[in-house]
Amino acid sequence: MGMNLMIIKPKVRGFICTTAHPQGCAESVQEQIDYVKQHAGDQQGPKNVLVIGCSTGYGLASRITTAFSFGANTLGVMFEKEPTERKTATAGWYNTRAFEDKAAAAGLYAESLNMDAFSHEAKTAVIEKIKAHMGKVDLVVYSLASPRRKDPDSGEIYSSTLKPVGKEVTRKTLNTDSVQVHDITLPPATEEEIAGTIKVMGGADWELWMDALMQADVLSDQAKTTAYTYIGKSLTMPIYGEATIGKAKEDLDRAAKAITAKLQSGNGGDAYVSVLKAIVTQSSSAIPVMPLYISLLYRVMKDLGTHEGCIEQVNKLMTGELFGQGDLNLDEVGRIRVDLAELTDEVQHRVEALWDQVTTENLYELSDFSGYQKEFFKLFGFGFDGVDYDAETDPIV
Ligand code: NAD
C-alpha cells in the first residue's frame, strides 16, 4: 500500500464531519479504555460479546466496557467507510481499527464485520465467526442507529423520519453549523412515515438477530441481550418520545418481551431495553432540537456535578446493572434505567428556565455549546492533546 500523506482537518457539512483523524480516533478509544480500567470492579461479566453497531457512540462504549472491564472477547458489526489514498475513513472505521489493536495487545479476540446488519448475510457471517472463535455468546448488544433499512426478505427499503405524531410542532432548535438559534416547525408524520420509522428503528431486526442466533445454537445458557433507547421529558417529548422515533422505540419494548419468551423456552436468558441519557453522537446531532437540548443539559449537569458521557453511562449499565451485584433497577415497563439523573425535576426545571432565555446571542453564555462542539469534533478524532494535527498523516492505517 503506497504512502499517501495528507494533513487531516475537520470538514463539516451540516451536522456531519466528512473527515476523521486516525490518531485522534485512537486517542478517543484509549481515553475510554482508561476510564473503564480505572472503574473496573471485580465482578464477573460476559466472556463473549456480540455488539451490533460497534464502531461509534454507545455501541463502541459497550464493546470497550465489556472487553476492558470483564476481559470479554468481542465480535462487532458496523457500517463504515474504509480509507482510500485520497480520502480518510469514517471515524467508526478508525475507532474499530484502534480498538482491535488494543484488544489484541491485551490478549483478547476482537473482530469486526463491516456489513449491513439488517441483511441475512451479516447474520450468517456473524454466526460463522462465533462458531469459529467464540463458541457461544453471553451478551448481545443491539446499538444500531440508521436512517434506512432494507428488509432482507422483501427487499423493500424503509426510511426513518424525525417528525411529530398527530400535530405539527414548533420548537426552538440550534443549527450547529451556522450557530443560529431559531424556531423550527415540523409537520406531523404521515402514517407511512410512522410505519417506516418503526421498520427501521423498532425491534424487528433485533428479533431477527436473536432468532438467527438461537436457531444456530450460538447463545450460551442464560444469555442476555439489550437494545438501547432514549425517553427524555417534556422539552424533547414532542420531537422524540411522542414522535416517530419514540413510536419506533416503543416497539423495542414489545420485541424485548417476545425475545425473552423465546430465550426462556430455550436455554434461558433475558432481553432488556436499556434507557440511556442524551449525549453527543453522530446520530443525536442529526435530530432536530437535540443539539440545543444537549448543550443546555450538559451545562446544567456539569454545574450540578452529575454530568456523564457515553463511557460513564455504559460502564454504569454494564457493571452496575446488567452484570452488577444487586437486583436490576427496572421501571414499570421492565426497562433498565441509567438515565434518571437527567430526568430529575431539578435538572429539567433548570434546563427549561435556560431554554426560555437562550438565543443566538447568549448561546455560549447560557449553554455548554462550546463543550458540545468539543465533543462533536472528538467524535471524529479532532481536538486531542496528544495528536499533531499539522503533521502529514497516512489515511490508510
Ligand atoms: P451512533 O451513530 O454513534 O452509532 C450507530 C452505530 O450503528 C455505528 O456503529 C454504525 O456503524 C452502526 N450502523 C448504522 N447502520 C448500520 C447498518 N446498516 N449495519 C451495521 N451497522 C450499522 O449512534 P448512538 O447515538 O450511539 O446510538 C446507538 C443507540 O443508542 C441507538 O439505539 C440510539 O437510539 C441509542 N441512544 C442514543 C442516545 C444519544 O443521545 N445519542 C441516547 C439514548 C439512546
Structure confidence by residue, pLDDT tens digits, 100-159 = 999 999 999 999 999 999 999 999 999 999 999 999 999 999 999 999 999 999 999 999
User: CA dihedral defined by 146, 213, 228, 321, rounded to 10 degrees?
Assistant: -160
What's the gap in Å between 3 CA and the centre of ligand 1? 32
Q: What pLDDT shows up at residue 375?
A: 98
Residue 364 annotated as catalytic = no
* Ligand 1 closest atom vs CA 54: 9
Q: Residue ranges of the chain with pLDDT lower than 50?
A: none
What's the gap in Å between 52 CA and the centre of ligand 1? 9
Give the closest residue (by CA) to ligand 1 atom 34: 229
Q: What pLDDT shows up at residue 40?
A: 87
| Strand 48-52 versus strand 73-78 pairing type | parallel
As a whole number of angstroms, the distance between CA 28 and CA 35 comes to 11
Q: What pLDDT shows up at residue 33?
A: 98
**Best substitution site from 281, 311, 314, 337 to test ligand 1's pocket, by max atoms within 8 Å of Cβ?**
281
Q: What pLDDT shows up at residue 4?
A: 85
Q: Which residues of 173-185 are buried (b: 16+ CB within 10 A; e: fewer)?
A: bbbbeeeebeeee
Q: What pLDDT shows up at residue 2?
A: 56
**pTM for this structure?**
0.98
* Ligand 1 closest atom vs CA 61: 26
What's the gap in Å between 117 CA and the centre of ligand 1? 12
Give the closest residue (by CA) to ligand 1 atom 27: 145
As a whole number of angstroms, the distance between CA 133 and CA 207 comes to 23
* Ligand 1 closest atom vs CA 149: 18
**Best substitution site from 115, 143, 239 to test ligand 1's pocket, by max atoms within 8 Å of Cβ?**
143
Among the listed residues 58, 230, 240, 272, the single catalytic one is: 240
Residue 56 Cβ < 6 Å to ligand 1: yes
Residue 175 Cβ < 6 Å to ligand 1: no
